[in-house]
Amino acid sequence: MLAPVHLSEGLRFFRRRLGFSGFRRFDGDAFAICREVVDACWNGRFLQVSSGHYRQVYARDLGWCAPALLALGHRDRVLATLSYAFERWSRAGRITVAITPSGRPFDFPSYPSLDSIAYVFNTLRLVHAKDLVEQHRPFLKSQVRWVASLVQDDGLPRPIRFSGMRDYAIRQQSCYDTAALGLLSRCLDDLRLQNPLPSASRYAKLLKSHFWTGRHFRDDLSGKDVVTADANIYPFWWGIIKSGKMLKSAVRSLQSEGLDVPFPLKYVRSKSREDKMLWMERFVSGWERDAIWSHMAMPYIELLASFDKRRAKEHLRSYASLIERHGTYVEVFAPSGEPFKTPFYVADEGMLWASQFLYVARKIGFRG
């Protein structure tokens, strides 16, 4: 589960924790700060996840930000980042969760990551990277074959461990991973690559038949009765599930769990006994439970705005205040609303996710 690269990455983060004396502040209002943060994440070769300790490429984070970055005029930077990443991934023989600052691809934990692959294909699709697709077509085909080997005949992921956005959680055939396969299937069709997976519309039916409770999507198929944010955001945000009625019900379920308090968004209620985590989570207690994640907030707010724009703008106003208070875009917050901190870790800063704030604010007409 752990490899030397994980220990070296963890040590790098710990060194920053030991030497931490405050966030680097950017000037201006929330919009100006976010624009400066996005620019600070460009190092001339690729878009880093942050200007703090995540000075590297993460497939997942690039995928989260790709729609926003493209809308904000950063297509060339997205293409350059993909080109840089594919050089490393193709040499390694696989698409991985991340690439170290020195250029070494790795997964965390050491499990297959369906969502990372889906995000990479989706970013290729969104940016219309035809030349990159042709250049790496044999490699891309090999990755699709590998994914197909991890999928059951009915289209569900096999009951094995996967690394997802909630990578410390122990889950079995999760809703999130199933939706990621639906996203990948749609991308393969759009990119005109051979698609061994069921169609995206078939994945919509699988999600409804296996995970929908009538009020929300259950987290996975292990029988756990727990409401999680990722299971109830990304099937809608990726466009796999298009029902406005289901979206409203899922969002109301997240709200009833208090996952958007004091501002969005937590993964799960802290006292959920059904929620099982890897032992490593002890070093960052609550990290993927009731900590508040700013990357997940923006897709949530974007979806919320489709039926409750007033509340969506209130949440954006809360984030604008946080951005101006800290002078940067903070990675994760404690349930109290203060930046997340343990003896081993302190929240990262200057996140590329700031692009999402700018994009969602523009999309729903929020001006501060």
Q: Dump pLDDT digits (tens) for 58-90.
A: 999 999 999 999 999 999 999 999 999 999 999
As beta bridge partners, residue 58 has 98
d(CA 320, CA 329): 9
* Of the candidate ranges 56-65, 105-114, 177-186, the one whose mean pLDDT is the lowest: 105-114
As beta bridge partners, residue 293 has 332
Q: Which domain holds residue 206?
A: 4-364
* Of the candidate ranges 103-107, 245-249, 310-314, the one whose mean pLDDT is the lowest: 103-107
Contact of 65 with 366, CB cutoff 8 Å: no
First and final C-alpha spacing in the chain: 45
Q: What is the pTM of this model?
A: 0.94
Q: Dump pLDDT digits (tens) for 238-296.
A: 999 999 999 999 999 999 999 999 999 999 986 555 566 554 566 566 666 789 999 99
Which residues contact residue 185 at a Cβ distance below 8 angstroms, ignoring those fewer than 6 apart? 195, 197, 198, 199, 200, 202, 203
Total H helices, total E strands in the chain = 14, 5
Convert 148-183 into a string of H (helix), E (strand) and C (coil).
Answer: HCCECCCCCECCCCCCCCCCCECCCCCHHHHHHHHH
Report which residue type is found at 344. Answer: F
CATH number for the domain harbouring residue 180 = 1.50.10.10
Contact of 366 with 313, CB cutoff 8 Å: yes
The whole-number pLDDT of residue 8 equals 62
16 vs 155, more confident: 155
Contact of 220 with 242, CB cutoff 8 Å: no
Report which residue type is found at 71. Answer: A
Which residues contact residue 102 at a Cβ distance below 8 angstroms, ignoring those fewer than 6 apart? none
How many distinct structural domains can be found in the chain?
1
Angle at 218 between CA 310 and CA 189, to 5 degrees: 85
Question: For 106, phi and psi rounded to 5 degrees?
Answer: -155, 160
d(CA 299, CA 296): 6
The whole-number pLDDT of residue 284 equals 64
| Mean of the per-residue pLDDT values of the chain | 92
Q: Dump pLDDT digits (tens) for 327-352.
A: 999 999 999 999 999 888 899 999 99
Residue whose entry in the numeric block shows the structure tokens 């890897």? 278
Whole-angstrom CA distances from 342 to 52, 73, 170, 338 are 17, 37, 22, 12
d(CA 106, CA 144): 18
Report which residue type is found at 125. Answer: R
The whole-number pLDDT of residue 354 equals 98
